[in-house]
Amino acid sequence: MSARPGMLRRSVEGGCIIIDGKTVIYGIIGHPVRHSFSPAMHNAALREAGLNGVYVPFEPPPELLPEALAGIRALGIAGLNVTVPYKEAVMPYLDELAGDAVLYGAVNTVVNHRGRLVGHNTDGPGFIRALREDHRYNPAKGSALVFGAGGSARAVAVALARAGCPELALVNRRVERAEALARVIFEATGIKVRVFKWDSAGSDLADFARRAALLVNCTPVGMAGKADADFPLPEALPGKGQLAYDLVYNPPLTPFLNRAARSGAEIANGIGMLLHQGALSFEIWTGRAAPLEVMRRELYR
C-alpha cells in the first residue's frame, strides 16, 4: 500500500474503481461513526481528483483505541479524520502535534508520514472558512456568543478570537469549564472572554445576545436522537441582522435555527463547517487543492 496517492484506475464495466496494491487508504475514526457523511464526501473528492484512494469508517471501542492507532501505523493507512469521542483521546498516541492542535486541545486530522503519526486540527479553520466563504461574514466585524464549552466550542471560540473577534462570550452549564476555556483563549490571543451560566436569570446575557453579530450553538441540543432542551433566554435569541450558526447538521433545521429564522436572522447549520474542515484535511493528506464543489454537492445529496 503506497503512502503517496497514485492515479485512479477504472474497470471497463461501469466505471468502478479498481482497488489494487497501490490503493491508498484514508478513513474516519470514531464511536459511533456509521452515521458520518465524511466517507461519501471524501470518496467523491478522491474520484474527482483522479487519485487511487478510498476512504472508510473505523469504529473501534474506546478500550481498543491504542491498538487502533498502532494498527494505522502498522498497516500504512495514510490519513484519518477523528471524530467524537476520540478528538482528545488520540493525542497521547501521536508522535507530533502540528500547527494549532495543542491550542485547540483536540485533533481531527491525522497524517501518517512513513509510520510517524502527526495530528492536526482543521475544525477551527474550517469554521472560519465557512463563515467567510459561504456567508460573507467577517469574524472581526462584531461580538460572538458561543453556546457550550466542550471540544467543538473550544475550536470555534479559539478560531473566532484568532480571527479578530472583538468581543466573545461563552454560555455553559458548568461555569468552571467555560472559565477554564476563557483563560486559555486569553493567554493565547489576548482576547478577554465573558462567561455566562446556561440558566442565567440576569439581564447581562440577554443584553450581550441582543447585540451579538454571531450566535453559535456548539452543543448537541437539537441533534437527531437528543432531547430538544431549550436555550437560555428565548427572548434574546437571534433576530434581524444576526447570524445564527448551529454546528448540528442532522437534522438540517434544528429548534435553535427554527426560532432564529422566525425572528428574521440569517441561519446556517454545521454542514458548511463539515465541508471546509474536510477540504482542509484533504489538502493536508494529498497536497492538492480539494474539489470543493464536488464535496459540497455530495454532502447536500
Would you call 22 a catalytic residue per the annotation? no
- DSSP string computed for 231-270: PS-GGGS--TT-EEEES--SSSS-HHHHHHHHTT-EEEET
Q: What phi, psi does 57 have (nearest 5°)? A: -85, 145
Angle at 297 between CA 293 and CA 80, to 5 degrees: 80
CA distances from 221 to 133, 224, 245, 300 (A): 26, 9, 13, 22
* Residue 37 DSSP class: S
User: Would you say 35 and 57 are in contact if contact means Cβ atoms under 8 Å apart?
Assistant: no
**87, 192, 197, 240: which is the annotated catalytic residue?**
87
Query: For 116, how many CA atoms within 13 A lie in the half-sphere containing its CB?
Result: 7
Please give the sequence-ordered ranges of beta strands (E in DSSP) within 164-252, or none if there are none: 168-172, 193-197, 214-217, 243-246
3-state secondary structure of 290: coil
Please give the sequence-ordered ranges of beta strands (E in DSSP) within 114-253, or none if there are none: 116-120, 144-147, 168-172, 193-197, 214-217, 243-246
Residue 235: CB atoms within 10 A of its CB come to 9
Q: Active-site positions?
A: 87
